[in-house]
Structure 1
Amino acid sequence: MKPLKLTLAGAAALLTAGAAHAQELNLICSADVVICELLVEQFEAGHDIDVNMVRLSSGEAYAKIRAEGRNPQTDLWWGGTGDPHLQAASDGLTMEYQSPMLEELHEWATRQAELSGYRTVGVYSGALGWGYNTEIFESKGITPPTCWADLLDPSLAGEIQIADPNSSGTAYTTLATLVQLMGEDEAFAFLADMDANVSQYTKSGSAPVKAAARGETGLGIVFMHDAVAQAEEGFPVEVVAPCEGTGYEIGSMSLIEGAQNETEAKTFYDWVLGADVQSMMPEAGSFQIPSNASATPPEAAPNLDDIKLIDYDFAQYGDSERRAGLLARWDEEIGGK
């Protein structure tokens, strides 16, 4: 009987270890770290699941998930622009899942899910623009730009920061927006001219306006809600929607194909789509438009109805080949200078 007892004990130990392992979630978060930390804190407070969270920009997240394709170490990817999420879906790196929460979401969020074959879903939205430091502009006598074309003004030499589109979904959205507004060759000519005014291509999409808020640069090209966040903190930042029109993001969420903790990932997925969860996001300085139609949008959030938005082609610019081609051309003509 002793061998049997040892076998049962061993089985019990294995079951215990398995149960402990099952109460984990490996999460990539591609929003501002304060937002990421708030989500993790609130989720862990209400669930017996430990979250291992890493904050990565959208491009970095996609690269990590692709590198782990044969042996996924990530269960869930939350936040960041929709284009790389759509690319991951196209590459078969993410899992089809139709959450019971879909019926509560805005049409633009469910359209993102349908477009991807339900391999991603919209969690928030926000328009592209920029924020500039009013004190710097006043002290240097710079006329604030109101249109994309104004960003080429020589008075802005060394005053602009924008992220690298290879690492940043914000910057890739900018690139895709300009291509759709101007045409590809014209957009790259514009970017080459604007390069004379760019002091730094950052890794993070929100970093440029944070630098502007601190007085380290004059202007940051970002999603407008990131500029609003700096203004709400009391920094001298003015928010601009470009006059010619602008693109927008559908911040997305994706389950990873082959996730080790699929059940826990789906628990988080459904939870974070809830109206109550999305309504608390302003506590972390988030001013995006929430995807749950019953969630309360932040009072300071830019009103998309007041912004001239282009008909952003998420299918084309989330396509793997199209995205790779644009990034390769940016590397050759802009980033490689």
Structure 2
Amino acid sequence: MAQGRLSFYCSAQEDWCQLMARSFEESSGIRVDMTRKSSGETYAQVKAEESNPRGDIWWGGTGDPHLQAAEEGLTEEYISPMRDQLHPWAIAQAESAGNRTIGIYSGALGFGFNRDLLASNNLPEPACWEDLTKPEFKGHVQMANPNSSGTAYTALATMVQLFGEEAGFDYMKRLHANVNQYTKSGSAPIKAAGQGETTVGIVFLHDAVATAVAGFPVSIVAPCEGTGYEIGSMSIIKGARNMDQAKAFYDWALSAEAQSLALQVNAFQVMSNMAAESSDLAPNMDLIKLIDYDFVKYGSSEERRRLLEKWDNDVSRLPQ
């Protein structure tokens, strides 16, 4: 059995993070210290710790902040012997970042709504992004803050690519008028919808499926205009104190066995290992109208910073 420790930064759902940490401990004998934060928060932590890295590996969360970290030299180049088992989109993610990150799962953006709340408020069933900006949905929509949440940044970048920048920001302003809260975590809005605290939550569709599978009255919508998607990613932190352990985790986390653990915690993403088990309940990416999301551009440090500043200045300060 291998020895040593691993400082594991995780940006997926809490129970999945815990399962990955404990399962790797059992298979390797390496002790894992896990910290769970959203992808935007984890990027900020890795950046803040650049001169004295505390983490060894960062697993999960949307790919954009992983790409930004790669561009800024915060993560380590590594080519895993497991790469030949992965879908082409996972390898393309790695190649676009100089092999400083890699795709571990994929998931489409959309929203879910609480059927009971929709009915009690006499609201029409939303099918499109545009529906969420209608006056009758004022106070009924929740999404995360794109500064802290990779999910919400994907939503912002999606609108810019789907409608063009001017029209995309116009959409975000009109949506803002109907938003009741910007959460820190990307999955929080659909949990709130499930519990009846908001009618609509803008999230990745796999999170909406998980809420529905848990028994909440949630319906899932892939918006009619088309939508963006994420490539959840994994990166080794540059200057990691436990580099051998980090590479061992990286290789293990790309295996079909490790990726199939997702089903134990109702994580319904499309996994990057071609042999990983998948659920019939997972959103079928082939049936969703996906945009040609430009991961390189919208994962770049400059573009990400520019869009977030514009959102802060032009959208978030508007009255609601």
**Shared fold, TM over 0.5:** yes
Q: Secondary structure at the match of 2:193?
A: helix
Alignment partner of 1:133 is 2:109:
no
Q: Distance in 2 between matches of 1:144 and 1:210?
A: 19
Question: 2:137 aligned to 147, 153, 156, which one?
Answer: 156
1:308 is displaced (CA, Å) by: 0.2
Please name the residue that 1:80 is paired with. Answer: 61
1:298 is displaced (CA, Å) by: 1.7
Q: Distance in 2 between matches of 1:311 and 1:273?
A: 25
Question: 2:146 aligned to 161, 165, 189, which one?
Answer: 165
More helix by share: 1
Alignment partner of 1:307 is 2:277:
no
Question: 1:44 aligned to 17, 25, 28, which one?
Answer: 25
Alignment partner of 1:225 is 2:210:
no
- 1:65-104 correspondence runs (5 A): 65-104=46-85
Please name the residue that 2:43 is paired with. Answer: 62
Please name the residue that 1:17 is paired with. Answer: none
Question: 1:274 aligned to 241, 252, 255, which one?
Answer: 255
Alignment partner of 1:328 is 2:309:
yes
Unaligned segments of structure 1, at least 5 residues: 1-19
Question: After TM superposition, which residue ranges in structure 1, 4 or more long, deviate above 4 angstroms?
Answer: none
1:35 is displaced (CA, Å) by: 0.5
Please name the residue that 1:240 is paired with. Answer: 221
Equivalent AA in structure 2 for residue 44 of structure 1: E
Q: Distance in 1 between matches of 2:116 and 2:138?
A: 17
TM-score when normalising by structure 2: 0.98
Q: Distance in 1 between matches of 2:87 and 2:307?
A: 30
Q: Does 272-281 or 250-259 show the bigger shift?
A: 272-281
1:280 is displaced (CA, Å) by: 2.0
Please name the residue that 1:32 is paired with. Answer: 13
Q: Which deviations, in whole Å up to 9, do the C-alpha atoms of 1:1-21 show, x marking residues without a partner?
A: xxxxxxxxxxxxxxxxxxx9x
Equivalent AA in structure 2 for residue 277 of structure 1: A
Q: Distance in 1 between matches of 2:12 and 2:27?
A: 21
Q: Distance in 2 between matches of 1:296 and 1:27?
A: 24
Alignment partner of 1:109 is 2:96:
no
TM-score when normalising by structure 1: 0.93
Q: Distance in 1 between matches of 2:16 and 2:266?
A: 7
Q: Distance in 2 between matches of 1:75 and 1:101?
A: 19
Please name the residue that 1:14 is paired with. Answer: none
Q: Which deviations, in whole Å up to 9, do the C-alpha atoms of 1:308-332 show, x marking residues without a partner?
A: 0000000000010000000000111
Q: Distance in 2 between matches of 1:211 and 1:251?
A: 23
**Cα RMSD after superposing both structures:** 1.0
Q: Secondary structure at the match of 2:232?
A: strand
Q: Distance in 2 between matches of 1:277 and 1:43?
A: 8
Q: Secondary structure at the match of 1:280?
A: helix
Q: Distance in 1 between matches of 2:224 and 2:107?
A: 16
Please name the residue that 2:236 is paired with. Answer: 255
Q: Distance in 1 between matches of 2:183 and 2:209?
A: 19
1:190 is displaced (CA, Å) by: 1.0
Q: Which deviations, in whole Å up to 9, do the C-alpha atoms of 1:8-50 show, x marking residues without a partner?
A: xxxxxxxxxxxx9x61100110000011011111111112111
Q: Distance in 1 between matches of 2:101 and 2:217?
A: 37
Q: Which deviations, in whole Å up to 9, do the C-alpha atoms of 1:88-130 show, x marking residues without a partner?
A: 0000000000000000000000000111010000000000000
Q: Distance in 2 between matches of 1:67 and 1:274?
A: 31
Equivalent AA in structure 2 for residue 200 of structure 1: Q
Alignment partner of 1:174 is 2:155:
yes
1:336 is displaced (CA, Å) by: 2.7
Q: Distance in 1 between matches of 2:221 and 2:269?
A: 15
Equivalent AA in structure 2 for residue 28 of structure 1: Y
1:187 is displaced (CA, Å) by: 1.0
Alignment partner of 1:185 is 2:166:
yes
Equivalent AA in structure 2 for residue 243 of structure 1: C
Q: Distance in 1 between matches of 2:174 and 2:284?
A: 31
Q: Distance in 2 between matches of 1:304 and 1:244?
A: 15
Q: Secondary structure at the match of 2:76?
A: coil
Q: Secondary structure at the match of 1:36?
A: helix
Please name the residue that 2:185 is paired with. Answer: 204
Equivalent AA in structure 1 for residue 9 of structure 2: I
Please name the residue that 1:6 is paired with. Answer: none
Q: Distance in 2 between matches of 1:325 and 1:52?
A: 34
Please name the residue that 2:278 is paired with. Answer: 297
Equivalent AA in structure 1 for residue 193 of structure 2: A
